[in-house]
Each structure stands twice: as structure tokens, then as C-alpha cells.
Amino acid sequence: MTTMARTVVIEEFGGPEKMKLVDRALGEPGPGQVRIRHHACGLNFIDVYQRTGLYPLPLPHALGMEGAGVIEAVGEGVTHLKVGDRAAYTSQPPGAYCEARVMPAAQVCPLPDGISFEQGAAMMLKGLTVEYLFHRTYPLKRGDTVLFHAAAGGVGLIACQWARSEGITLIGTAGTDEKCQLALDHGASHCLNYRKVDFAAKVRELTGGKGVDVVMDAVGKDTFEGSLNSLRPLGMLISFGNASGKVPPLDLGILGAKGSLQVTRPTVYTHIGDHATCQKMAGHLFEKVLSGDVAIRIDQRFPLDQVADAHRALEGRETTGSTILQP
């Protein structure tokens, strides 16, 4: 008997209304694959980029990069998972907005019993992003200072807590006083309402004119110039998203003039592309959550058939913390 699973797909790029909920047949996993039945699915800005075509996909295509559930079947060669295991992932290719799917197993991670499915679905992409930002792209040490944009979002609230747990001074930015307070409550040392203050000037003031060691910027176009102006000489700008639009072309000479600055554009999927590295990074994230250093805050829940409303809330900057879809 063929098993069907409700799945969100797009047949053309565009707004939230382009997403359709359809029934898709599920097969058996092939070599290196598993079939997972979701208990919760994550929502992330990369899903918006893929839906709009900013990050093009071959069409038609399912959406979603993050989920958690139970392993139903295991293909040949998969040794780190078995039928009945709790698991969570962020992984290529997209397709997590569904009740169940067959997918590559390498980036699917055994989920500890102390972490719920909702937490697992809300934390993998965001938490692994913080792990690579803090420990791989620019390995931070106690006493370092970081400017983190969108500090009240899903990635930002994890970053605030992670920074506090490791003695890192995190200066956040957010678009409302309420969001700034949320970031402060989660461990930010300072949080600046970018609608009210020139954040680059305020960062200079807070750092005694020196600037920060590193800026972590997922906002993009609207914050890029101010991010460069917030750095100390030899500092690094990590541009890891573009919620406000793509960063315009950069004259590399500006980096020299501003103090031999460094700019990089990493992605989580490069960092977790190797199976062993992915599992190690996930283990580090799980330790942070199980120890209580990092709590996964889920502020919005939408049924799978209301995925368009979830996207509108995310794009409208109406969300805080993480958002999950309920299959």
C-alpha cells in the first residue's frame, strides 16, 4: 500500500500564496537514506528566499529545511540511526514542510530524550548556525565583543544565551524596544533599537571608540554599511543572511581604508556538509541545551495548512524567537 504525506510545494516563485499543500507518495529509503515522520517542522528565512526565487530551486519543489520526528525506515549503509529513533535535522535538499519524507541520512541527528520534538525542529538550523559562527567562522573567546543583528529572532536569542554562557560581550540590535528587552533578558549585554539610534555610532560609544571584534549580520542590505563602521581594525564582518535584501556590490578598497577589515559569507550547509562534523556540531548544540545554557524559545505555532500565514508573519518581522509548523 502506498503511503501518502501532506507536503508543501511551490510550482512557481512568488509570495506566500504560491505555496500549495499536496499529497505526495512516500517510498522506501534507498542507500544512505531514512524515512522520517515529523512531529514538528521549523520555519526559517531561507525558506522565504527559496519561495521567492532569491535562492532558486528547480520547480516544482517542496520547501522547508528543518524538522524533528521519528525514524520509520532506514536504508542500506545508515548506521547512526535505526527505526524508532527520535531525530532532528537541518539538511539539503529542502522538503521539511511535510508530514513525512524520505531524505539523506547524513545530516539527520539522533535527538536526546531531554529535548522535545518542537525544540528539535526549532533549534537545528538556528543553533548550528550559532555554533559555526561562534566556534568556526570566527572562534570567539572570553572577553571578545560581538555585534549581533536581529538579536530577538530565533538565531539571535540562541546567540545571546550562548554568548552569556561563554563570557562573550554581545551587543544586539532589534527593531522595537520590546524586542531589545527580550534580547537583554536572554543574555545580550546591550541591545540597540536601530529605528531610534545610529547603531554604529552607539557601538563606538559602548566600546570606547574601538569597535567590536566581529559583526554577525543576517539582515543584509540595510545594515551592511553600519556593520563595517562598527568594526575595530582587523575585525571581521560575517554576512550570513539578507532579510532586508541582498548586500550591494562591495569595493574591496573600502575594507583597507576602514582598517584592513575582513568580510565573509558562510552558510550552515557548508559547515555541516561532512557527516562527522555535522554530528559533532549537533552534539555541541545538544550539550548547550541540555545543560540549561541555551533555552529554545518557541513563540509562534502554525498548523501546516497555515504555512502562508507563518511566512507573512516572518517577513513582516512580527515574530520573536522560533516558529514551528505542526504537521
What lies within 8 Å, CB to CB, of 132 at 6+ separation is: 266, 268, 271, 281
Q: Is the dihedral of CA 232, 237, 243, 245 positive or negative?
A: positive
pLDDT at 126 over 70: yes
Residues 146 and 258 in one domain: yes
Phi, psi torsion values for 237, nearest 5 degrees: -100, 120
Q: What are the pLDDT digits (tens) for 274-322?
A: 999 999 999 999 999 999 999 999 999 999 999 999 999 999 989 888 9
At residue 234, the pLDDT reads: 98
At residue 281, the pLDDT reads: 98
Q: What are the pLDDT digits (tens) for 100-119?
A: 999 999 999 999 999 999 99
The answer as to whether 131 is a domain residue is: no
At residue 102, the pLDDT reads: 97
The answer as to whether 132 is a domain residue is: no
At residue 317, the pLDDT reads: 85
Q: Are 2 and 28 in contact (CB under 8 A)?
A: no
pLDDT at 259 over 70: yes
The mean pLDDT value of the chain amounts to 96
Mean pLDDT, residues 154-172: 97
Count of domains forming the chain: 2
Q: Is the dihedral of CA 147, 149, 152, 154 positive or negative?
A: negative
Q: In the structure, what pLDDT confidence band is assigned to residue 3 with cuts at 50, 70 and 90?
A: confident
209, 210, 214, 217 alpha-carbon torsion, rounded to 10°: 20
Tell me which of 234, 265, 296 is where a domain ends. Answer: 265
The answer as to whether 130 is a domain residue is: no
Q: In the structure, what pLDDT confidence band is assigned to residue 243 with cuts at 50, 70 and 90?
A: confident
Q: How far is the CA of 37 from the CAs of 56, 182, 326, in angstroms?
A: 27, 33, 12
The answer as to whether 129 is a domain residue is: no
DSSP run (H or E) holding 69:
strand 66-74
Domain ranges, residue 147? 142-265
Which has more pLDDT, 227 or 321?
227
Tell me which of 235, 265, 295 is where a domain ends. Answer: 265
Mean pLDDT, residues 215-220: 95
Label residues 150-160 b or e (16+ Cβ within 10 Å = b): bbbbbbbbbbb
pTM: predicted TM-score of the whole model, two decimal places? 0.94
Residues 280 and 223 in one domain: no
Among residues of the chain, what percentage have pLDDT more than 90?
Answer: 94
What lies within 8 Å, CB to CB, of 125 at 6+ separation is: 42, 44, 46, 65, 66, 90, 268
Tell me which of 265, 281, 297 is where a domain ends. Answer: 265
What's 203's domain CATH number? Answer: 3.40.50.720
Residues 210 and 311 in one domain: no
The answer as to whether 166 is a domain residue is: yes
What's 298's domain CATH number? Answer: 3.90.180.10
Q: Are 97 and 325 in contact (CB under 8 A)?
A: yes
Q: Are 217 and 243 in contact (CB under 8 A)?
A: no
pLDDT at 267 over 90: yes
The answer as to whether 300 is a domain residue is: yes
Residues 26 and 111 in one domain: yes
The answer as to whether 296 is a domain residue is: yes
